[in-house]
Structure 1
Amino acid sequence: MKLGFLYAGQGSQHPGMGADLYEAFPAFRTVIDGTKVDFDLKKVSFKDPDGVLNQTRYTQPCMVAFAAGLTAVLAEKGVIPAAAAGLSLGEYSALHAAGVFDAATAVKLVAFRGRAMEEAAAGRESAMMAVLNLDRALLQDACDAASDLGCVVIANYNCPGQLVIGGEKAAVEKAAALAKEKGARRCLPLKVSGPFHTPLMAPAGDALQTYFQGVNFALPRIPVIFNCLGNVMGDGDTIPALLVRQVQSSVFMEDSIRAMAAMGVDAMVEIGPGKALSGFVKKTVPEMPVCAVETAADVEQLAQTLERLIKEKA
C-alpha cells in the first residue's frame, strides 16, 4: 500500500506531546535522547513548566524531534512513505523522512530557522488571520486593495474554504474587513509571533541562505512536495533554494495534497500533534483515507486501519 506522509506544522504543539511515545518505544527514545539543542527538549515537550513551548525557537525543534521519533517508530513497524509533504515547519520533517538529512541535522536546522524567524518578526506590528469560505481570487483582490496600508498577502492556501492572510497589522485588518464585504464567513485572528510566509520574513530567508551553505543536502529517496510549489521540485530547483523561498512566500497546502493524491497514494498519514492536516485532506480530496498519528495508541490503531484498507483494496 502506497502511503503519503503529511507532517504537521507550528501551531499544533502542546505540552505532553510525545511523552507516551517516549515511554512506549525505544526508537522514539533514541531520537529524542540524541537531539542536541540548547534547552531541555524533553522538559519543554513533555511538561513545559515555564510556558515556552509556543515560542518559535522552542516550538520548531520540539516539533521536528517529535516527528522524527514517530517516523522512526513507524519505520520499525514497516510503515514507510511513498511520498511526503509537510505544512511549513513540517516540510523539514518530510525531507528527513525522504533521507535528505538525518534527524539531528533536521532539528539543528529548524532550531536556527526558529531563531531567524523570531528575529525577523521582532519589532514589527504584524498579524495573521484565517479567512473562511472565500474564493482565492476574491481574497487576493482584498489584499491588493489593502496594500496601501502595508504588506498583506495570502500566506496559506490550506484547503477549500480556508485561507490565511498575513503581513503588517493595519493592512491585514483592512484586507479582512474587505474580505467580509466580499462574502467571507469569518476572519479569525491567529495567535502567532510573526507574519510567517510573507515577504516580511525576507531577513529569515537571507539568514537561512547563508546557513545552508554549510549543510549537506542528499537527494530525496521519495518524492517530496514543496510548500512554495504545491508540487515536487523541477529540474532547475534545489532544496536549499526552495527552503529559503518557503519561509517568505505562500504555503500551497491544498495544492500539495492534490499533487500527492495524483501520485496514486492509497492513503495519507498525518504525523504530529493534532489533526489539522487530516481535516485539510477531508476537505480537499474527501475520497482519500487519512489517519492521524500522535500517540502510542494511535500507532497501534494505525496498524489495524492499514490492514483493513489493504483488505478493502484487494
Structure 2
Amino acid sequence: MTRYAFTFPGQGSQAVGMGKDLAAAYPEARAVFQEVDEALGQRLSAIMFEGPDDILRLTENAQPALMAVSLAIIRVLEAKGVRLADHAAFVAGHSLGEYSALAAAGTFTIADTARLLKTRGQAMQKAVPVGHGAMAALLGLDMATTHEVAAEAAQGEVCDVANDNAPGQVVVSGTVAAIERAVELAKAKGAKRALLLPVSAPFHCSLMQPAADAMAQALAEVTMNAPVVPLVANVLATPITDPAEIRQRLVEQVTGVVRWTETVTWLTGPGGVTHLAELGTGKVLTGLAKRINAEAVGTSVTTPADIDAFVAALLA
C-alpha cells in the first residue's frame, strides 16, 4: 500500500528564478507570493524571480522565500483536488522547512509563517557577529566518530553536531577556530572529505541561543492550530501534534540537531511511509532519502510538469 509523507526543503535550496514558472502558470501560486510580499512589506517575490543572488541568499530572505515556493505548490495541489490531509500521513521539514510543513498542515497561516521566518532569519544572523562562527560538512564518518571529533575540537569553545543529514553526511557548527580544528581532526580520523560551508552564521548550535529566545517570544504571540497530520519534528525524529509542544520544539530546533537521518528512518520504518514527496525548490531531500533508505521512493515536486505528474500519481 502506498503511504506518503510530504517533506519540505531547508536553506541552501534557494536559487534565483525560484517560483517564477509557478507564478506564470498558476493564479494560486501568484496569490501566495503576493500574500508573502504583503506580510513582509517587501517585494520578496521580485528577489526570488530576478535576484540578485547575494540578496536572496541572506538568511532573512532565503527562509521565507523557500517557504513561499513550498506553500505555492500546496495551494496549486489543493486547486487540483489534492488535499494534504487526504494524501499525506505525515509532514516533515529540514530546519526552516519545518515551518513550511506546519503552514502546509494548517498550524500557521502563510502570512504568520512568513513573518516568523523573517524574524528567525534576522535573529539567527544577529546571534553571532559575522566572522565569529562557522559550519563544516564532515563526509564519511559515523555519528559516534563525529561526536568524538566535535568534543575534541571544542577545547572550551563551541563545536556542536548541527545536522545529521544522511549516513556519512554530518554538519558541525560553532566558533571558527573550533570548526577549523574539527575539519582537521575529521580528516585524521578517516573522513572522505571535511570542508567549511559557505554560510553566514553557525546554525543549530548553542551560539544560537539568542535566536532561540527571540523565536520563543515570536511563537508565543502567534495563533497555532493542531496540524491536520502529525509533524515529525527535527529535534525528536518522532511525530507530534500538540501546538504547545510544537512551539517548544521549534524553539529547541534553533540550537538543536536536525535529526534528518532518524526522521526519514522513522517515517519509512514505524511510520509505514513508502513514498517521500519533497514539495519546494530543489531536490536535496529526495537525494538524502535515497541515501538513508534505498527502498524509499522519493519524488521532487518543483515545476508545473512535476505537479501534473504528482497529481496524476496521487489521483490514479
The TM-score with structure 2 as length reference comes to 0.93
1:104 equivalent in structure 2: 111
1:300 equivalent in structure 2: 308
Contact 1:149–1:170 (CA<8 Å) still a contact in 2?
no
CA distance in 1, matches of 2:53, 2:141: 39
2:153 equivalent to 1:146: yes
CA distance in 1, matches of 2:266, 2:78: 24
2:115 equivalent to 1:114: no
CA distance in 2, matches of 1:33, 1:189: 36
Equivalent in 270, 287, 292 of residue 284 of structure 1: 292
Report deviation, 1:49: 3.5
CA distance in 2, matches of 1:59, 1:88: 12
Report deviation, 1:16: 0.3
Q: Trace 1:228-307 onto structure 2 (pairs within 5 A).
A: 228-233=235-240, 238-262=245-269, 263-306=271-314
Equivalent in 120, 125, 148 of residue 132 of structure 2: 125
Counterpart amino acid of residue 154 in structure 2: S
2:152 equivalent to 1:136: no
Counterparts in 2 of 1:189 and 1:123: CA distance versus 1, 3 Å: closer
CA distance in 1, matches of 2:93, 2:286: 12
1:164 equivalent in structure 2: 171
Q: SS where residue 130 of structure 1 aligns? A: strand
Counterpart amino acid of residue 38 in structure 1: G
CA distance in 1, matches of 2:212, 2:189: 33
Equivalent in 34, 39, 43 of residue 42 of structure 2: 39
RMSD between aligned residues? 1.8
Unaligned runs of 5+ in 1: none
Contact 2:132–2:175 (CA<8 Å) still a contact in 1?
yes
Report deviation, 1:267: 0.9
CA distance in 1, matches of 2:42, 2:132: 28
Give per-residue Cα distances to partners, 1:176-195, cap 9 Å, x unaligned.
Answer: 21111111100122111101
CA distance in 2, matches of 1:54, 1:137: 32
Report deviation, 1:249: 1.0
Give per-residue Cα distances to partners, 1:177-225, cap 9 Å, x unaligned.
Answer: 1111111100122111101000000000011111222111111110101
**Runs of 4+ off more than 6 Å:** 234-237
CA distance in 2, matches of 1:243, 1:144: 25
Contact 1:5–1:268 (CA<8 Å) still a contact in 2?
yes
CA distance in 1, matches of 2:78, 2:60: 28
1:17 equivalent in structure 2: 18
Contact 2:232–2:238 (CA<8 Å) still a contact in 1?
yes
Equivalent in 100, 109, 121 of residue 93 of structure 1: 100
Counterpart amino acid of residue 74 in structure 1: L
Counterpart amino acid of residue 23 in structure 1: A
Report deviation, 1:304: 4.4
Report deviation, 1:124: 4.9
CA distance in 2, matches of 1:151, 1:237: 30
CA distance in 2, matches of 1:167, 1:182: 20
Report deviation, 1:127: 1.0
CA distance in 2, matches of 1:115, 1:288: 36
CA distance in 1, matches of 2:95, 2:243: 22
Contact 2:183–2:196 (CA<8 Å) still a contact in 1?
no
1:184 equivalent in structure 2: 191
Percent sequence identity over matched residues? 38
